[in-house]
Amino acid sequence: MSEILLDKSDRIAVVTLDAPPVNALTLARYQAITDMFEAISGMDDVNVVVFTAKGSRAFCAGLELKEFLAATPEEDPARARVVRATFKAIRHCAVPVIAAVNGPALGAGSVLAAVSDIRVASEKATFSMPEINVGRCGGGAHNARIMPQGMLRLMAFTGEQISAWEAYRVGYVERVVAPRLLMPTAMDIAQVIAAKSRIGLTHMKEALNRVEDMPVEEGYELEQQYSTRLMNTEDAREATRAVVEKRAPVFKGR
């Protein structure tokens, strides 16, 4: 059975990490996640992804430590490239990605959430960067995009976890809900996004990724360029007509 599951319906893809008992990441699992998200980027019938995990013990416990212990320092650069490719595939997936975090997200698990576009967390979720406890560094660059430096360094230097509500307080997650409401809440958001034009979503996401680290004026100029590109699409014109005519748009993907 595959450890990375895919279900598609109504322009929503649900990707589920299914690697019991704690969804730890081996090199093969990193590669499978990369392959999955790269494939989704090319699926014209998907407008949004919900990324979650099976089980109740963890969203993702991070690196599989037994495999790591067997690796040599000489092998580490090649292994690191595989890991970077995974986070890049999620962050630059052509469509928005919603992380539905059902339990502890440790180390690389917290990065899987960070490189998603939106994070919905169960009240049972926690987030941590325990690399210091196992003689590693990592996660700071991605987590710092959505977390204050003080909290980032507190987590990185202590290895201690923060609760879902603390993550919400500092802006690390967008929603915190009861465990039974996790997937319904993520799917509600996904359904709103799924109804948008895929062309609009892909342009919007690429623009947001590119302007993230740009000065404001330069970033806005780049966004305007993407907006001009959208004006040349049928879907963009249909979106405007639908608002004016007070009706639901009918997108054709062109």
Domain locations in the chain? 4-194, 198-244
Report the alpha-carbon distance of residue 198 to residue 225 in Å, rounded: 18
pLDDT at 236: 87
Long-range contacts of 154-162 (CB under 8 A, 24+ apart): 155/127, 155/128, 155/129, 156/129, 156/131, 156/132, 157/132, 158/132, 159/128, 159/129, 159/130, 159/131, 159/132, 159/133, 160/128, 161/104, 161/106, 161/126, 161/127, 161/128, 161/130, 162/126, 162/127, 162/128
Beta bridge partners of 127: 105, 162
The reply to whether CATH 3.90.226.10 applies to domain 4-194 is yes
Report the alpha-carbon distance of residue 180 to residue 219 in Å, rounded: 39
pLDDT at 238: 86
Q: Report the chain (254 residues): mean pLDDT per 10 consecutive residues.
A: 88 96 94 97 97 93 81 82 96 98 96 98 96 86 95 96 97 97 98 96 96 95 94 89 89 86
pLDDT at 69: 75
